[in-house]
Structure formats: structure tokens, C-alpha cells
Amino acid sequence: MSICIDCKRSSRPGMTMIELLVGLVVFSFAILPILNFTSTTTRSTYITGKHLMAGKLASSILDRLLSLPFQESFVEGKKLATGQAIKAMDDESLTKLLESQPLAEGLKVLQDDLEKSFRFFEYKVSLETDPPDSNPEKMFLISVMVTWRIEEGDERSRQGMILECVKYNENQ
């Protein structure tokens, strides 16, 4: 015995609400991996960009020290080799460079952009001589360690890279 009063199926074309919901669920499961891939790719690009910025910062510090004559390079390196982390935006050379550029109105925009990009970057410089703590005559090792945070506010996400170079005395 049937309880249905009007069991006739509607002759109007279209989909029922159930069919529509099932289609929506299937589409959602199909698009989920694509959205996850996009998110992962964006994060990887961000991390790679930070790594490249750290490499540029470390190489610019090394270049600055290597471009000086041997004794001056050692003296400047000793000034930077305090054992303490130096914030990238507190670097005197970078500040002098920004202030000396004839950018006028663009200077503030550039400075704001650099502060956003490098706000979590720090570096340490160390010098090694043989014997230790002596004034070198032939060569010394310059090490620049740059660290940065991947996650804002999370100090545990700090990563780092080290670039090293030997400075030779050209006069010996």
C-alpha cells in the first residue's frame, strides 16, 4: 500500500536538489588538490625568495670586505665581528647608501620596501686567523652567517646560511 498521494514524476526538465548537491560535492573533491597545490607552490616561492635575499645580503657583505685592501679588510671585518647578530636594516653601509641616493620622493618608498623585506634578517660576521686571535700576515677567513624567520613571530622557524671566503694578502 502506497502512502504517496501524487507519485507522478514532474515532466519539467532539470535536476533535483539531491543531484545538484551530489554534483557539488564531487566538484569540491576534484578541486581540492588543485587548491592545495597552489598553496604549496606559493609557500615554496616565498621561502625560495627569502633564501635568495639572504644569499644576496651575505655576498654583499663579503664583497664589501673583499674589495678593501688586506689590512683595511681585516680592520673592517673586526668591527663587524662582534659576536652579536646585526639586524640587516641596522647595517651602516646600507643606511649610508640609501641616504646618498638621489631618489628624493622614491627614497621613502624604497626604504619602506627594504624594511618589510629584511625586517627578520640578521647577520653575524666572524674572522679566523692562524694562529687564532692574531694579526694575519698572509690570509684570514671571513664567515658571514645570515639568519631569517620563515613564519612571522615564530622564532623556531629561523633558518640560516653561511658564506665563507679567504682574503689573501696581495702584497705577500
Spatial CB neighbours of 170, under 8 Å, sequence gap ≥ 6: 69, 70
Q: Across residues 118-145, what is the average pLDDT?
A: 89
The gap from C-alpha 47 to its chain's centroid, in whole angstroms, comes to 6
Please say if the pLDDT value at position 11 is more than 80. no
For the chain, give every domain's residue range: 17-87+119-168
**Mean pLDDT across 120-144:** 90
Strands of the chain, DSSP E: 86-87, 122-128, 139-149, 158-168
Mean pLDDT of 140-152: 89
Which pLDDT tens digit goes with each residue over 49-74?
A: 888 888 988 998 999 999 999 999 99
Residue 25 confidence (pLDDT): 92
The yes-or-no verdict on residue 155 having pLDDT over 90 is no
Threshold 0.85, pTM exceeds: no
Q: Among residues 160, 148, 159, 161, which one has the least CA distance to residue 116?
A: 148
Cβ(149)–Cβ(120) below 8 Å: yes
Q: d(Cα 144, Cα 118) in Å, to the nearest integer?
A: 16
DSSP state of 130: S
Q: How many residues does the chain have?
A: 172
